[in-house]
């Protein structure tokens, strides 16, 4: 069916300072993909894990080079080192605390951070102990942000099951058991090709019966069938990445746009897309930021959200992701607000809490930024 393209906001391009100060909402961030290099060095020394570099600076460069190498093997190797140093409760608590501190410093007001509990039990921790250690770190980080006088931040867990393993029902039950203690929902991650989400249908059916939220990594490395199964067979609330939905959209030479049935459904049903521009370029899901499908999908008014995926591997932050989109597409303050409101509307948080963050934090702060840009009093976007 035909679709109409919208233009970015008519206001001026957002400045670097406005991007820095803007309140941000993050829905797709991996705990084991966001460690500080210095923390990895120190934790590796404690547990005897051998690293490919000995100093934080050298290690940071190794992660960046490996992630940018174009080799999936080298990219995945980076996680061998982060997960290896996250096998004790104190290590998990430290990593979780620092994650929240870093997000707060980046201007994030709400975040859902995901990790796979099953990957952190090598030294004898139970799944419950893993989640408890991470929750302790999140609480410490949220308190530390307030003590530093920073804008408040709320952080929730997404518990991930690995799609090539067979523990998804167990992890889904863990997510339900912890949903009143910091866990917002469930996710599956890992290689899409050969491991369709329908392999974990029992976990998704269980979550639906329990009225629980879940997202599914789909449409990143694999195409439309992965997205279709995630939505129509498994009932995903959101799509992790969802970049390949672009394959169901045709742009004619005259600029007219036609949406295929699946793309139209995703847009019409307001299914959120957890897009991670820099990560998608690294993994080959997009050629460049300027050519990333997020530009067209935003103009078509899909429920687009902007995320970091793996801050260490991509050398990124929410500020960098949004700043790159501003540079590529000329977005203004109101466009950044649209991304933040989209994400907050899509969060696995009770409606009244989402509404409070939108009306009491996000819109007022963006109105102030827009007023600065216009040189006068601003009116919050509807």
pLDDT, average across residues 144-148: 90
pLDDT band at 61 (very low <50, low <70, confident <90, very high): very high
Q: Structure tokens of 136?
A: 């302790």
The pLDDT confidence band at residue 196, using thresholds 50, 70 and 90, is: confident
Q: How far is 109 from 23, CA to CA, in rounded Å?
A: 6
Alpha-carbon span 254 to 2, nearest angstrom: 13
Q: Give which of 75, 321, 201 is closest to 216, Cα–Cα.
A: 201
Two tokens at 371? 């007023």
Tokens of 48: 């005897």
Q: Tens digits of per-residue pLDDT, 322-361?
A: 999 999 999 999 999 999 999 999 999 999 999 999 999 9
Looking up tokens 């939220």 gives 213
Q: Over the chain, what HEC string results?
A: CEECCCCCCCCCECCHHHHHHCCEEEEEEEHHHCCCHHHHHHHHHHHCCCCCCCCHHHHHHHHHHHHCCCCHHHHHHHHHHHHHCCCCHHHHHHHHHHHHHHHHHCCEEEEEEEECHHHCCCCCCCHHHHHHHHHHHHHHHHHHHHHCCCCCCEEEEEEEEECCCCCHHHHHHHHHHCCCCCEEEEEEECCCCCCCHHHHHHHHHHHHHCCCCEEEEECCCCCHHHHHHHHHHCCCCEEEECHHHHHHEEECCCCCEEECHHHHHHHHCCCCEEECHHHHHHCCCCCCCCCCCHHHHHHCCCCEEECCECHHHHCCCHHHHHHHHHHHHCCEHHHHHHHHHHHHHHCCCCHHHHHHHHHHHHHHHHHHHHHHHHCCCCCCCC
Contact 34, 25 (CB under 8 A): no
Structure pTM? 0.95
Q: What is the pLDDT of residue 219?
A: 76
Dihedral of alpha carbons 150, 158, 95, 127, sign: positive
Distance CA 22, CA 313 (A): 24
Q: What is the pLDDT of residue 379?
A: 37
219-262 tens-digit pLDDT: 787 789 999 999 999 999 999 999 999 999 999 998 899 999 99
Higher pLDDT, 200 or 73: 200
At 68 the pLDDT is 86
Q: Give residue-wise pLDDT tens across range 268-297.
A: 999 999 999 999 998 888 889 999 999 999
Phi-psi region of 182 (alpha: psi -120 to 50; beta: other; left: phi over 0): left
Residues in Cβ contact with 90 at an 8 Å cutoff, skipping those fewer than 6 apart: 133
Give, in words, the CATH class of 2-35+86-372. Answer: alpha beta
Q: Are 239 and 269 in contact (CB under 8 A)?
A: no
Distance of CA 149 to the CA centre of its chain: 25
pLDDT at 362 (0 to 100): 98
Q: Where are the domains of the chain?
A: 2-35+86-372
CB atoms within 10 A of CB 214: 26
382 has a pLDDT exceeding 50: no
Q: Which residues form the catalytic set?
A: 220
């Amino acid at each position: 069916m035909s679709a109409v393209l919208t233009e970015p906001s008519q206001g001026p391009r957002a400045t670097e300072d406005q991007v820095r100060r803007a309140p941000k909402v993050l829905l797709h961030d991996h705990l084991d993909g966001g460690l500080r290099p210095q923390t990895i060095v120190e934790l590796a020394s404690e547990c005897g894990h051998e690293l490919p570099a000995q100093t934080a600076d050298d290690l940071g460069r190794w992660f960046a080079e490996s992630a940018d190498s174009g080799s999936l093997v080298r990219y995945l190797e980076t996680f061998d080192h982060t997960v290896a140093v996250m096998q004790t409760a104190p290590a998990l608590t430290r990593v979780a605390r620092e994650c929240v501190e870093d997000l707060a410093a980046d201007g994030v007001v709400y975040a859902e951070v995901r990790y796979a509990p099953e990957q952190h039990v090598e030294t004898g921790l139970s799944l419950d102990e893993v989640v408890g250690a991470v929750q302790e770190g999140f609480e410490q980080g949220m308190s530390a942000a307030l003590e530093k006088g920073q804008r408040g931040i709320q952080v929730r867990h997404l518990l991930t099951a690995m799609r090539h393993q067979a523990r998804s029902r167990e992890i889904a039950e863990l997510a339900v058991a912890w949903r009143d203690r910091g866990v917002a929902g469930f996710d599956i991650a890992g290689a899409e090709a050969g491991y369709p989400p329908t392999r974990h249908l029992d976990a998704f059916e269980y979550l639906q019966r329990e009225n629980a939220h879940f997202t599914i990594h789909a449409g990143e490395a694999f195409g439309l069938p992965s997205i279709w199964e995630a939505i129509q067979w498994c009932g995903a609330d959101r799509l992790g990445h969802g970049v390949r939905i672009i394959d169901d959209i045709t742009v004619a030479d005259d600029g007219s746009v036609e949406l295929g049935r699946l793309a139209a459904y995703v847009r019409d049903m307001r299914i959120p897309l957890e897009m991670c521009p820099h990560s998608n370029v690294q993994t080959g899901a997009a050629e460049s930021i300027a050519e990333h499908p997020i530009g067209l999908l935003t103009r078509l008014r899909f429920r687009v959200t902007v995320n970091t995926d793996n801050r260490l591997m991509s050398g990124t932050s929410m500020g960098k992701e949004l700043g790159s989109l501003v540079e590529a597409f000329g977005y203004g303050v109101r466009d950044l607000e649209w991304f933040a409101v989209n994400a907050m509307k899509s969060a696995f948080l009770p409606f009244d809490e989402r509404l409070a963050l939108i009306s009491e934090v996000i819109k007022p702060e963006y109105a102030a930024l827009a007023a600065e840009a216009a040189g006068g009093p601003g009116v919050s976007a509807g």
